[in-house]
Amino acid sequence: MTNKSEVEMAIALAEAETGVRGGKGDIPLCCVAKSRARRWTEEEDRFVLENHGRLSEKESAKRLKRTLVAVHIHKEREMKLKGISKSPSIMTAEQVANGLGKDSKSIHLLMDRGLMPCRRLPSSRVMRVIDRFALLKWIVNPENWLYFRPTRVGNFCRKSKRGYGDYDYAFWENARAAVLKACRRWKDEWLTPGQAAHRLKIKASGTRYINVAIKKGILKAKRWGNWWVRKSDLPSRGKTINFKGDIVQWDECD
């Protein structure tokens, strides 16, 4: 005689294979086991493939009029689709944080503010991902270098590969080489207000002068924690910024 656990396992297997739920004794096991499994059509497979990572399995099951278990098993056993967060074409915010040498909170904030391209996966918990090609383009763009230090890219600790999640060493080595090459070609630099004041040789309250110029819109800047100014946007040689935040000649500065 079969015990209760074996019966329950048989019912679960029948439900998964047929897409028919037995409920609490509403449908006898013999009826479920004898029912023919509805075959998956090419149209259904195409729908699952096109919406993998875009629709949740629950939503896919609803649209296909199949059970959640049937959709999940078909994707894993028949279509051999990997989990949506393990797709080779994307990276999660945590993986990006490891590669850039940043904390994941900062990466999530960049994504939330639209400063880093991303999309949310259809899951019960918040999971943001970015396409690898889009990430590489973002990394080598000097406009984004105020959000991270290019020299830290790909410098993930290598003491042990266990417990690091899916850290793609090959990708980050290539990204590091690309961003360092871009750094050598870039003839500009991101400066804090203090560094900008030092460049302009403003001694007393120089940082305040720079901040006043930024707030007046005279000096272009971006905000990420601190204000950041490009060296190329500083006043030309022979000019500086006075206490009013105005650009003046050296001899006019107090």
pLDDT digits (tens, 9 = 90+) for 195-218: 999 998 887 778 999 999 999 999
Question: Same structural domain for residues 59 and 104?
Answer: no
Domain boundary among 169, 185, 201: 185
Mark whether 137 and 224 lie in a shared domain.
no
Three-state helix/strand/coil letters over 168-214 = CHHHHHHHHHHHHHHHHHCCCCEECHHHHHHHCCCCCCHHHHHHHHH
Q: Which domain holds residue 120?
A: 87-185
pLDDT of residue 223: 94
Give helix 93-100 / helix 104-112 axis angle, nearest 10°: 120
pLDDT tens figures, 113-131: 999 999 887 665 667 889 9
Report pLDDT for 68.
77
- Give the count of domains, the chain: 3
Q: What is the pTM of this model?
A: 0.64
| Cα–Cα distance, 218 to 166 (Å, whole number) | 46
CA distance 209 to 246: 9
Residue 68 and residue 107 share a domain: no
pLDDT digits (tens, 9 = 90+) for 127-155: 788 999 999 999 999 999 999 999 999 98
What's the angle, vertex CA 85, arms to CA 67 and CA 132, rounded to 5? 140
Residues 155 and 178 in one domain: yes
Last residue of a domain, one of 152, 167, 185: 185
Do 123 and 44 share a domain, yes or no?
no
* 32 has pLDDT over 50: no
Reference 200, options 237, 251, 252; nearest CA is: 237
Q: What is the pLDDT of residues 47-98, one digit of tens each?
A: 877 676 566 667 777 788 888 788 777 767 777 666 555 566 788 888 899 9
Mean pLDDT (the chain) is 79
Domain closes at, from 85, 101, 127? 85
The reply to whether 170 and 101 lie within a common domain is yes
Residues 94 and 178 in one domain: yes
Confidence band for 43, pLDDT divided at 50, 70 and 90: confident
